Structure 1
Amino acid sequence: MLEALGLDDAHTAVYRSVLAVPSASAKEVSASVGMPVGRARTMIGELERLGLLARQASQPDRVVASPPAIALKPLLLERERGLTRAHEALIEFSELYREAADQRNAADVVDVILGTDAVRQRIGQLQAAANREVRVLVLSQVAIISGAENVEEDRALERGVRYRVVVEGGVLERPGFLDVARSVGALGEEIRVLPTLPTRMFIADDAMALLPMRSHGENSSLGALLVHPSGLLDLVMAIFEEYWKTATRLLPDDNGAQDGVDRDVLKLLLLGLTDATIAAQLRISVRTLQRRVAELMELAAVTTRIQLGAEAVRRGWI
């Protein structure tokens, strides 16, 4: 609640607990918020330095809460002034950047990013700056940044940024990928699949694209090309849209006649995954998967898996 002032949930909990009582000791705060006494004492000291808490005159080992309207308002005003100054600097810097961008020649529309950490930083920055949409191509090779590390994707999805992602078929072999796809799908991310892709790609809105690449040879290293607004960026976006149009949607809509597991089985079969990979994604045994496929074939009155796929599409099961 007080993150805007640089305070975390623990500070908020301590301040709230003291607000609710006439006064409190570190031991009482510790018991109230469920943290060790030493940590509670540290929190109290930090809040005291900020003027949110004060020592009780008659009992210095106890603290009282300062009135929020008096203690918090100056902090908020100072933070607002800081944000105003930062916003003014943003406008000034953006104008300088725009003027420089207008003077870019053909060689200046691409920046070269060197090093794994620098590439990861740019990927995070692109997502953090996106307002409308992020478009991504994902290779089956080891990811530059894992889903767990990519916190900016979660934040972007939470603020309503749309994600359109095309992955190589090999990505579906990663353990738990289907569960992850379903969870981000609920937040507005759509994933499609193609057998192969030529490169990785990140596009933020229509403003900038990042093309990560790895050099070859003994001294292989990771780098990327950062593409600014230009004819080249237009080409990169057009390439993504072509792959998007031909890719197959990973997760079916939930309006088919079959239950969720059957829809997943049918969809993954159509994507060409092996029985072992499908079973691993669905957390069932291969034998259970094969038995269910046989039951679906009997239900659809077909004798081959190819016929099953066609019949499933015709009947609207996927």
Structure 2
Amino acid sequence: MLSDVLGLSPAESETYRTLISVASATPAELAESIGREARQVVRILGMLEGRGLATRSLGDTTRFVASPPAAALRALLVQRQNELKLAELELDSLDDIYRSAALGRGVGDVIDVIHGTEAIRERVGQIQLGARKEVMNFVKAPVFSVGNMTDGAVIARGVRYRVMLERAMLDEGAPSFDEIVQARAAGEEVRIAEKVPLKLFIVDREFAIVPLLGPANAAPAGALLVHASSLLDALIALFESEWEKATQFVTSAGAVQNVSAIDDLDAQILSLSLTGLTDQAIAAQLRSSLRTVQRRVRHLMDVAKVQNRMQLGFQAARLGWLEAERDGNRPHEATATATPWQNGAVTEQRP
């Protein structure tokens, strides 16, 4: 849309599009075509004249003609591109100044205390939208909702998302299996752990937010924002250590390596089973029957040539069945809506 790319207002864009479709027009004719008042169209035409997109007809100055789009709009496009380049240079300069200041932080400047859920939400959203390389997230039950966080747009820029969920969240159905599938389809890497040590949100290995939960895991009244320091290094090391031990989450047979005898449902049942869920809980998550889950588990043991579930888990790991291929897990279409657990530690408790 012209209004999005070149900075025209919707009214200006609509009027210009109508004007280029006719040889010439008076303000009254344009007003009738686009359903606006003539006085408003006169003002819009004046703005288009100022931008070089419209001019008065040589034969009749009461009529207006559109300037050729290829010439007029290209000039606006070049101007916008130049503005963006200057903005990018300014951003790099400001970023360098900020990082230089960060290197000189004293002990008291390593940690900032964020007060109130609204302030936490804003800070998390700010550093997430500024992510350039990677977002790392520990998520514990209970789930908290953050609303619209545009993490899909961040992923679409090539930012890697790694999310580790506590298994108790699956027991409670928050998030649901469908929501995890949606998150992986958007490009997130998801793993499951029996226990997650704390709620944690790390961006680009430069910032970490640690929510301070109240009694009985109530919504936090504050959080710690940790800057580059040995403390941040310790939090990153903790994440990497727990990530290596967590169970990879496979949602389709297409992501399973080295085997062709199982389908998507088999892969999903295997992945959920190895997180420690009961067959009944797996059936509920997948909207299937207990009998179907048990029959599929038996099939998986036959394929793996094992006699029990412990052997199945060992054999699945040895054969690489749970090694989801990250290259096949890139986003197909970015979404502006956050997955249910994104930054789930920082706002109101979800009902």
In the superposition, the TM-score normalised over structure 2's length comes to: 0.69
* 1:1-318 aligned within 5 A: 1-2=1-2, 3-6=4-7, 15-16=16-17, 19-22=20-23, 49-51=47-49, 65-69=66-70, 71-72=72-73, 75-76=76-77, 79-80=80-81, 82-83=83-84, 86-87=87-88, 89-91=90-92, 93-145=94-146, 149-151=148-150, 153-172=151-170, 173-174=172-173, 177-216=176-215, 221-251=220-250, 253-255=255-257, 256-257=259-260, 258-296=262-300, 304-310=308-314, 312-313=316-317, 318=322
CA shift, 1:292, in A, is: 3.3
Note the residue ranges of structure 1 that are not aligned, 5 or more in a row.
31-36
CA shift, 1:198, in A, is: 2.0
Note the residue ranges of structure 2 that are not aligned, 5 or more in a row.
323-351
CA shift, 1:132, in A, is: 1.4
CA shift, 1:232, in A, is: 1.3
Work out the number of aligned pairs and report it.
307
Alpha-carbon separation, structure 2, partners of 1:129 and 1:67: 38
Q: Is the 8 A contact 2:163 2:188 kept in 1?
A: yes
Identity of aligned residues (%): 41
In the superposition, the TM-score normalised over structure 1's length comes to: 0.75
Equivalent residue letter for 2:241: E
1:168–1:80: structure 2 CA closer, same or farther, 3 Å change rule?
same
1:315–1:94: structure 2 CA closer, same or farther, 3 Å change rule?
closer
Cα-to-partner distance string for 1:187-218 (whole Å, 9 max, x where unaligned): 54211110111212121112221212223499
Match of 2:345 in 1: none
- How well do the aligned residues superpose, as a CA RMSD in angstroms? 4.1
Partner-residue secondary structure (3-state), 1:198? coil
Equivalent residue letter for 1:161: V
1:28–1:251: structure 2 CA closer, same or farther, 3 Å change rule?
farther
Q: Is the 8 A contact 2:11 2:44 kept in 1?
A: no
Alpha-carbon separation, structure 1, partners of 2:245 and 2:207: 23
CA shift, 1:159, in A, is: 1.0
Q: Is the 8 A contact 1:175 1:281 kept in 2?
A: no
Q: Is the 8 A contact 2:19 2:30 kept in 1?
A: no
1:181–1:64: structure 2 CA closer, same or farther, 3 Å change rule?
farther
Equivalent residue letter for 1:235: A
Equivalent residue letter for 1:267: S
Alpha-carbon separation, structure 1, partners of 2:222 and 2:237: 23
